[in-house]
Amino acid sequence: MHIAVLAGDGIGQEIMVECLRVLEALSLPDLKLEHADVGGVAYHKHGHPLPPETLALVHSADAVLFGAVGDPACDNLDRHLRPEQAVLGLRKEMHTFANLRPAKAFAGLEGLSALKPEVAGAIDLLILRELTGDIYFGDKGRRTTDAGLREGYDIMSYDENEISRIAHVAFKSAQGRRKKLCSVDKANVLQTSVLWREVVNEVAADYPDVELSHMYVDNASMQLVRNPGQFDVMLTGNIFGDILSDQASMCVGSIGLLASASLGEGTKGLYEPIHGSAPDIAGQGIANPSAMILSAAMMLRHSFGMEAEALRIETAVAEVLQAGVLGHDLGGKASTTEIGDAVVARL
């Protein structure tokens, strides 16, 4: 198994160290880890946040482990040179249209959410976010109106194939869970959403065992606060999923715990924590590596079919949390290395 390791900026470097220690402790057969630069770090060294050598490695590897990108020193660069463009570029290059963001309450942590323990404790949902279309990748830019005014614009769009392929992933995921799928859109306003709803309804015919519902995005955001336990799988477009998945992660208690997998047609995937590079705490050894470690578990499951090994990691992380080894993001004192040590010890 050949893995491209892109640690990136800020805490990305620190959490990746612990993640790789965990992988190495599993004594996986033929584990080959190859590093490359991405984000601000890559811009400073190579003049581009996603340089050709990094892309070449990504294309030759079986899977990609991604830390985080984002560097305040790049804030004034041209848009296409900014670190965030590396994530968007990778998603597009790898055709990873399906972003899986599971959010599940961890035993013992219910009290740490801003939500009441009984509300937060019931969370066990999977957000399936479309990742290579929508208003993210449509035509966008700056123009001058007839009246001579500056105007910014972005085109949102989806075609039926883009919708149906992610819908199939969502229905299949629901079949492996509690068989409930809630598709999120804004069909009372957006034409993109009207087509979205139409196609999701068409795909539903192939999955009679899954209970499908539709919800407007404003209501979904409200329901995620009121009663997140009502959701099993939530299917969303790119921009709505961006908002709702961050919201859901905070309902669980900390964004430092949530992993994600981005998948395409094959088994090659991009695995990354949903948090960012956290420049404010970078280099202090206090970042929580759990989301990064859990992303490696998702990689073993989705790219290599190693369900047992994935579960070993997930169980170890859950045990560490339950034992009260908490990072600073959770009000604890454990350092990045101490959390890594504790996970490795429990494998």
Ligand X SMILES: CC(C)[C@H](C(=O)O)[C@@H](O)C(=O)O
The set of catalytic residues is 136, 186, 218, 242, 246
Under the binding rule (CB under 8 A), the answer on residue 281 touching a copy of itself is no
Under the binding rule (CB under 6 A), the answer on residue 93 touching ligand X is no
Q: How far is the CB of 79 from a copy of itself (least distance, A)?
A: 8
The residue assigned the tokens 């420049």 is 279
Q: How far is the CB of 195 from a copy of itself (least distance, A)?
A: 3
Which of 56, 73, 107, 225 contacts a copy of itself by CB under 8 A?
A: 225
Under the binding rule (CB under 6 A), the answer on residue 144 touching ligand X is no
Under the binding rule (CB under 6 A), the answer on residue 204 touching ligand X is no
Under the binding rule (CB under 8 A), the answer on residue 316 touching a copy of itself is no
Give me the sheet containing 2-8, strands edge to edge. Answer: 32-35, 2-8, 63-68, 269-273, 259-263, 98-104, 124-130, 233-236, 180-185, 211-216
**Rounded Cα distance, 36 and 220, in Å:** 39
Q: How far, in Å, are 26, 34, 217 from residue 153 at the CA level?
A: 49, 40, 22
Under the binding rule (CB under 6 A), the answer on residue 88 touching ligand X is yes
The reply to whether 281 sits in an annotated binding site is yes
Which of 239, 281, 342, 344 contacts a copy of itself by CB under 8 A?
A: 239
302 by DSSP, 3-state: which? helix
**Rounded Cα distance, 14 and 11, in Å:** 5
**CA angle at residue 189 from 184 to 193, to 5 degrees?**
40
The reply to whether 143 sits in an annotated binding site is no
Q: How far, in Å, are 97, 235, 268, 337 from residue 165 at the CA level?
A: 9, 12, 16, 40
Q: State the binding string over 217-256 for ligand X (x if CB under 6 A, else -).
A: -x-----------------------x--------------
Q: How far is the CB of 200 from ligand X (least distance, A)?
A: 20
52 by DSSP, 3-state: which? helix
Q: How far is the CB of 45 from ligand X (least distance, A)?
A: 21
Q: Which is nearer to a copy of itself, 11 or 119 (CB)?
A: 119
Beta carbons of 11 and 282 less than 8 angstroms apart: yes
Which of 29, 188, 208, 280 contacts ligand X by CB under 6 A?
A: 188
Virtual torsion, Cα 11, 12, 14, 20, nearest 10 deg: 160
Under the binding rule (CB under 6 A), the answer on residue 211 touching ligand X is no
Q: How far, in Å, are 77, 106, 231, 290, 324 from residue 318 at the CA level?
A: 40, 7, 22, 9, 10
Q: How far is the CB of 138 from a copy of itself (least distance, A)?
A: 8
Which of 45, 60, 72, 191 contacts a copy of itself by CB under 8 A?
A: 191
The reply to whether 139 sits in an annotated binding site is no
Q: How far is the CB of 38 from ligand X (least distance, A)?
A: 12
184: left (phi over 0), alpha (psi -120 to 50) or beta: beta
The reply to whether 8 sits in an annotated binding site is no
Under the binding rule (CB under 8 A), the answer on residue 96 touching a copy of itself is no
Which residues contribute to the site for ligand X (CB under 6 A)? 84, 87-88, 188-189, 218, 242
The footprint of a copy of itself (CB under 8 A) covers 79, 82, 84, 88, 114-116, 119, 135-136, 138, 140-142, 145, 147, 149-161, 186, 188-196, 199, 217-219, 221-227, 239-240, 242-247, 249-251, 255
